[in-house]
Structure 1
Amino acid sequence: MSQTWWRGAAIYQVYLRSFADGNGDGIGDLAGLRSRLTYLKDLGVDAIWLNPWYPSPMADGGYDVADYRDIEPVFGTLEEAEAFIAEAHALDIKVIIDVVPNHSSTESAWFKEALADRRARDRFWFRDEPDNDWRSIFGGPAWTQVADGQWYLHLFAPEQPDFNWDNPEVHREFEDVLRFWFDRGVDGFRIDSAALLFKSADGYEDLDGVHDVYRRWREVADEYGGRVLIGEVWLPDQERFARYLRPDELHTAFNFDFLSCPWEPAALRRVIDLTLATHTPIGAPPTWVLSNHDVTRPVTRYGRADTAFEHGGRLHGTPSDLELGYRRARAAALLAMALPGSVYVYQGEELGLPEVEDLPDEVRQDPMYARSGGTNPGRDGCRVPLPWSGDGPPFGFGPGPVPGTGPGTGAEAGASPAAPWLPQPESWRKLTAEAQAGDLGSMLNLYRSGLALRRDLLGDGTLTWLPSAADVLAFTRDSGLACVANLGRTPVPLPPGQVVLSSGPLDEGELPPDTTAWVLPPGSGA
């Protein structure tokens, strides 16, 4: 793969706790991931992005990092991580990992040292009194008091103290962390909360100092060749967003405008045009994302009367027509795959999993739920462990009986695996990877077919809009393939040529509502 492999890559997001359990303790791990690498190869992805796999108290699903140079023991060992990277590379799959530079964990060595010695506190934001009345993004105050009376800043949970990026030691630490993992073969980093690093009296989002950080990180990445830096950047101002993608900064950043967009033709066309207008002048490839570990799954979202996504659970529990949502999610998948740039697939998206909105309150672990006093249900509903096989929970998430395993595995000799850390719905029996593999009309096989065609005909490049009705999105790509998505209420004609893939059956040769088709022109030889 080229030095710019990421420009048109299909990247699969693994939320490790919920992907596959290799040792039977009810929690996904590296052993489980390694056992399912051939599944990802068959799916047709070019890279895997993993959420944080570092040692962590798990106050926020691993985004409270205690040690950036090791692996959380529940997930495995550093040696297993290195073996996973090698095995993924042997299958021609790249590996991208999260880095969390805005904040640490209260269990990190640095923070413990800061509590013990005030002279070590300049790595964080300690004050005798809070400088402001900022609120945590997770709810509640953003300042917490320690035993000796000082206060520290945490934009997220109290267990996640913010680093002080005015301190050069913090810069050196993270440059070393990048090298540590690049030396072990990691192909890139997804940068969590990339715009929040610096703070001032005026605020904490998108301050100019972040750009000097990423220019330096880009120099480090370029030393290794073929490595990618991906920003999690939520900014409404497209001009400021584009600054992160200048040629000497990040290679690409998540497209949250597309992810948040309702299933409406004018809104989607506007977001696509704005995205291309932002990225094309600076030579950066767009990204197209339908879901991730923080947002309501598309099948549920697109089945609602209000199909937009907003943080905060405003629509949680509102009625959703899952049959309609499933049809629209299929159409959205082919639309996203056809757009120029890279595409992300969040685990379970390829199975058509809905959001699990009826989790018992006592099993919810997202700090958003606790810190909102239960008014925000949190993000656990899109993090429920995957269903792999079988007719009931745990749906093959863990191994069979584990004979003679040692302590700490969560599975005694001869016992069945522990229940998954979040309960799976009984209704998922029809959505397991096993059940879908042999069904040519399944969501899984739609993704397999789409990603295979995408590798040959789509990916990086340009887009040309075709004339179409107001409720239809139609464009061609460099290969000549046309993508037509019908978001209207009546069937529409397709351009002449061969339909190579559609998200649903055609209606006497026409494209039905909430359906997308890919069409190759006559004489293309396909």
Structure 2
Amino acid sequence: MDTLFLRNESSMHAWWKESIFYQIYPRSFYDSNNDGIGDLEGIIQKLDHLKSLGIDCIWLSPIFPSPHHDFGYDIAEYCAVDPIFGSLDIMDNLIEQASIRNIKIILDGVFNHTSIEHPWFLDSCRNGEKKDWYIWNEKANNWTSVFGGSAWTWHPIRKAHYLHSFAKEQPDINWSHPEVQKEILKIMEFWYKRGISGFRLDVFNCYAKDTQHTDNPKRKDILGLIGGFAYSFINQHHVYDRDRPELFPILRDMRKLADQYNAVLIGETLDENLRYNRASEYVGPELLHLTFHFQLLHTKWNPKKIKDSCMQLQKDFQSQCPTIVTSNHDFPRQSKRWGADERKRRIMALLTLTLRGVPFIYYGEEIGLPHISIPRASIQDPVGKKFWPFFSGRDGSRTPMQWSNDKFCGFSKTKPWLPTESKNLCTVHVQEEDPSSILHLYRALITLRKSHPVLHKGALKWLSSSKESLCYERYLEQERIVICINLSSRTITTPVQSGTIIFRIGSADLQTLQPYTAILIS
């Protein structure tokens, strides 16, 4: 197998490279004022949980004022906090209290589009000073929306179509306009000056579009021909509204500003082909620090497929630093994708924290938070409402964090915006008292990662292994750690016959690995 080397440059040793990120969906973390919705004060009150877990940086999903047509991903004001979450003063306190605990915070930078209620759009649709800050066309072309149907909607006041890559309530910003670019940089600097340590850039590869609005070519493969009937977004190659060469100067300007504040930029790419093989193109000393690669999120629990996904991720980012992501707010939780067997989630925790790359933990996965099925009448997600019963939406992965055995699992004293699980074994309180819990496993793995520089700085080499297992070596100078994982339901023999076991999951030794077990050997 080929060895994968980290780049030997100073940026690879910045704080973000050695950090463990933790994504919080604010609505669902902790409700401090008992209105059924999580808030910033609630996060402050639970910072000690995050400190004890060992994470280094919080990624907050959108907290900005919004009409919530897409739960905050339709922003009406970038330099404020939505009252349902708190205020700028509370946000400042959160930044301060997190800093006291050596925890940084990054924000969701939703800069591809705004809300239709944003003052910019209200001005633009009336042909005001910002008339060209959005993308307008008298005649709609064939571009399609991620949320289905045409990406264009007629506006009766402007008497033209505006572009929206997502919902019609989310008009796309015109990134080809110089004043737009300057304004977004001002917004980013506003938050940097308040102590924010970076941004996760939502669908950043959609920023730049072909200014001639050329039709996208039709797909002629099976997915495009068959799948396109049910979901029009995948019936074309998005070559004129995605991944444009005009994007690179935009990213370079963002990076220059971020470097002034030692901030991190993490990009989320939109890829209808679900391969994410272009994500690494946007990582570099003058571009983004990190980009997400979601292959594992689309992988079912099949030992060969999981193995292939891990190897493909490392290959795609052979000369850059990858991210290790197994859950987020847009995908079903691990328990939904990979089944109820907790042993699989334990294995995935170990993979997340021992593979080469920067780990991202989605809130609740540290306790094995279940994916809850939401009845049709209770669906909140606009995507679920639109595509039910073919797709029931993303609510199941956004349900409240479960803190205790109290009513509503300690999230709130009133009925939450989404339901909690009635079985109260999966709570922070219960797992705190159980040394064998998955919560304690996460803490132990994070402690292990931080105590061995090889696990967050070292290179990776794949070792020969059976199709049911995944074996790799992490090495840095004189330190070596070998990781052997049994991804299957049968007992297997390890390829390593000597060494000292420094960590294990389940019943495993140097010779054999029981089903869904793993060992780390030094």
2:251 alignment partner in structure 1: 214
Structure 1: distance between partners of 2:172 and 2:166? 8
2:39 alignment partner in structure 1: 29
1:425 alignment partner in structure 2: 421
The Cα of 1:302 is off from its aligned counterpart by: 0.9
The Cα of 1:480 is off from its aligned counterpart by: 1.9
Instruction: Give 3-state SS (helix, strand or coil) of 2:434's partner.
Output: coil
Q: Deviations over 1:379-417 (max 9, x none)?
A: 0000000110025x411102xxxxxxxxxxxxxxxxxx3
1:87 alignment partner in structure 2: 97
Structure 2: distance between partners of 1:279 and 1:9? 18
TM-score by length of 1: 0.86
Counterpart check, 1:350 vs 2:366: yes
Q: Deviations over 1:205-263 (max 9, x none)?
A: 111111111011000011122x1100002446766432201221000111212332333
Query: How many positions carry a matched residue from both structures?
Result: 475
Counterpart check, 1:486 vs 2:486: yes
Counterpart check, 1:233 vs 2:269: yes
Structure 2: distance between partners of 1:505 and 1:363? 42
Structure 1: distance between partners of 2:459 and 2:370? 32
Structure 1: distance between partners of 2:509 and 2:451? 27
* More displaced stretch, 337-346 vs 107-116: 107-116
Counterpart check, 1:293 vs 2:329: yes
TM-score by length of 2: 0.87
Structure 1: distance between partners of 2:55 and 2:18? 11
Counterpart check, 1:332 vs 2:332: no
Q: Which amino acid aligns with 2:485?
A: A
Q: Which amino acid aligns with 2:257?
A: V
The Cα of 1:345 is off from its aligned counterpart by: 0.3
Q: Deviations over 1:82-105 (max 9, x none)?
A: 111111111111111110111000
Instruction: Give 3-state SS (helix, strand or coil) of 1:122's partner.
Output: coil
Task: Note if contact 1:228-1:251 (Cα within 8 Å) is conserved in structure 2.
Answer: yes
Compared CA separation, residues 460 and 263, structure 1 to 2 (3 A): farther
* More displaced stretch, 191-200 vs 272-281: 272-281
Task: Note if contact 2:153-2:168 (Cα within 8 Å) is conserved in structure 1.
Answer: yes
Q: Deviations over 1:5-61 (max 9, x none)?
A: 111321100000000111111100001000000000000111110111111111111
2:459 alignment partner in structure 1: 462
2:390 alignment partner in structure 1: 375
* More displaced stretch, 241-250 vs 48-57: 241-250
The Cα of 1:466 is off from its aligned counterpart by: 2.5
Structure 1: distance between partners of 2:251 and 2:450? 30
Instruction: Give 3-state SS (helix, strand or coil) of 2:106's partner.
Output: strand
Task: Note if contact 2:22-2:361 (Cα within 8 Å) is conserved in structure 1.
Answer: yes
Structure 2: distance between partners of 1:24 and 1:78? 20
Task: Note if contact 2:151-2:166 (Cα within 8 Å) is conserved in structure 1.
Answer: yes
The Cα of 1:119 is off from its aligned counterpart by: 5.4
Instruction: Give 3-state SS (helix, strand or coil) of 1:12's partner.
Output: strand
Two-structure CA RMSD over aligned residues (Å):
2.0
Structure 2 counterparts to residues 74-113 of structure 1, below 5 A? 74-113=84-123
2:131 alignment partner in structure 1: 121
The Cα of 1:493 is off from its aligned counterpart by: 4.0
1:413 alignment partner in structure 2: none
Task: Note if contact 2:66-2:75 (Cα within 8 Å) is conserved in structure 1.
Answer: yes
Structure 2 counterparts to residues 120-519 of structure 1, below 5 A? 120-130=130-140, 132-148=141-157, 149-200=159-210, 201=214, 202=216, 203-225=240-262, 227-235=263-271, 240-281=278-319, 284-303=320-339, 322=340, 324=341, 326-357=342-373, 359-372=374-387, 374-391=389-406, 393-398=407-412, 417-427=413-423, 429-457=424-452, 458-478=455-475, 479-494=479-494, 495=496, 496-506=498-508, 510-519=512-521
Instruction: Specify which of 63, 81, 88 is matched with residue 53 of structure 1.
Output: 63
Compared CA separation, residues 508 and 245, structure 1 to 2 (3 A): closer
Q: Which amino acid aligns with 1:97?
A: L
Structure 2: distance between partners of 1:364 and 1:85? 33
* More displaced stretch, 489-498 vs 57-66: 489-498
Task: Note if contact 1:259-1:288 (Cα within 8 Å) is conserved in structure 2.
Answer: no
Instruction: Give 3-state SS (helix, strand or coil) of 2:456's partner.
Output: coil
Identity score, percent: 37
Structure 2: distance between partners of 1:460 and 1:190? 22
Instruction: Give 3-state SS (helix, strand or coil) of 1:518's partner.
Output: strand
The Cα of 1:424 is off from its aligned counterpart by: 1.1
Compared CA separation, residues 337 and 155, structure 1 to 2 (3 A): same
Q: Which amino acid aligns with 1:481?
A: I
Structure 2: distance between partners of 1:29 and 1:206? 35
Structure 2: distance between partners of 1:338 and 1:47? 18
Structure 2: distance between partners of 1:179 and 1:3? 23
Structure 1: distance between partners of 2:490 and 2:427? 32
Compared CA separation, residues 7 and 183, structure 1 to 2 (3 A): same
The Cα of 1:2 is off from its aligned counterpart by: 9.8
| Unaligned ranges ≥5, structure 1 | 304-321, 399-416, 522-526
Compared CA separation, residues 395 and 372, structure 1 to 2 (3 A): same
Q: Deviations over 1:251-307 (max 9, x none)?
A: 0111212332333333333333333333233xx21110110001011122112xxxx
Structure 2: distance between partners of 1:508 and 1:218? 46
